[in-house]
Amino acid sequence: MGLKGSLRDFGISEILQLIGLQRKSGVLEVRGREAHFRVMINGGKIVGVEKEPELKSEGLSEYLVRAKMISGENFSLAQQKSKSELKPLEAVLVELGFISSEELKSVISLRNIDLLNQLFLLKEGEYEFEAGPVTYHPNYCAELETEQVLMDGYRVRDESGLILKEIGDQGIIFQKKPGEFGADQQLDPIVNKVYRLVNGERGIDEIARLARLSRFDTLKILVELKNKDRIEPKTLTRRESGVSGKIITSAVFIQVGFWLGMVIFLGLLSLGLFRYQQAGFIFKKPSQETRFWNEEMVRQGLEVYRLERGGYPEQLGELLEAGLLSERDLQFLQNYQYYKQGGGYKFVSPELKPHGL
């Protein structure tokens, strides 16, 4: 199977869904304006992600050293040995006893997730999937299920805009706000882990590495802590910025940007509510997440079918025959109705009014 085209016509989610459902192996290359990504896939599972050019903060050394799992000196030593003996760097790191195979695998998996999250935010670019066997090191690679990557990708795509508006400058440094907090204000263990790492000196990337979390999840938790008044942007004095005298605080600018962003967001939300009510839609509830995820899978399957066959199927069962849906998906569709209408379709769920193209 060969796929090639523009992200404007066929998004990353549709591409990964198609490859995952058909359990294909090969390399997916995506060329954006600023970077070139290579995603290695084996049997529908993601086994490796590469990016060129790679930022310093995105390198494997940064993940290991900032997480204090290995020293910079030992990493350089492993790199030299890898080049001189023509061995994979991962194998040398484990061979020298600098890190265990399982620990290395978890860090590589986290790095791959961070790079994949960048892919889901791309709106323009060209892609090409070349089917065939891929070479990777199973002992140092955590295979990522395509379905889970897709679910996380939708979350990243939908929430990143608002999160980044609230954070403001991604080079910002947070510090803890003074105060005492009662038992009713206890933090979730993962949130508390991030909170304890905030010290007025660490940046977002360093906190993410030490917490062993993806950059997106770290940003989301920092926003949560900020909204709970547990942390605040660090205040810089003029002396720190090279000028003596008054205090300059980045918090002022961030707060202004935040409230402007909130005004715009609430305006768009109000407009969206009005249009959704006019169309007769209801909003998704958290308890309905699984059902809406399945609906999204079906809609994407229909689009993949259209792009491959030149039109929508007469029946949804044809998506199963084409390898775009599973038996489990068909069981989910028992209470749904599908109609092909001209060049489009109507897909009717039990609780929603008909929608489609």
Which residues are 28's β-sheet partners?
Answer: 39, 129
User: What sign for the dihedral angle of Cα 108, 123, 343, 348?
Assistant: positive
Q: Which domains does the chain have, with CATH numbers?
A: 2-150 (no CATH), 164-262 (1.10.10.10), 286-356 (no CATH)
Q: What is the pLDDT of residue 51?
A: 94
Confidence of residue 267 (pLDDT cuts 50, 70, 90): low
DSSP category for residue 132: S
pTM strictly above 0.85? no
Structure token pair of residue 54: 């790679």
Burial class, 303, CB count within 10 angstroms (exposed 0-12 / middle 13-18 / buried 19+): buried
Confidence of residue 4 (pLDDT cuts 50, 70, 90): confident
Structure token pair of residue 16: 């990964």
Own/partner long-range contacts of 240-247 (Cβ < 8 Å, ≥24 apart): none
* pLDDT value at 347 more than 60: yes
> Do the beta carbons of residue 37 and residue 180 sit within 8 Å?
no
Q: How many CB atoms lie within 10 A of CB 34?
A: 9
Query: What backbone phi and psi angles, to 5 degrees, belong to 224?
Result: -60, -45
* pLDDT value at 297 more than 80: no
Q: What is the pLDDT of residue 273?
A: 47
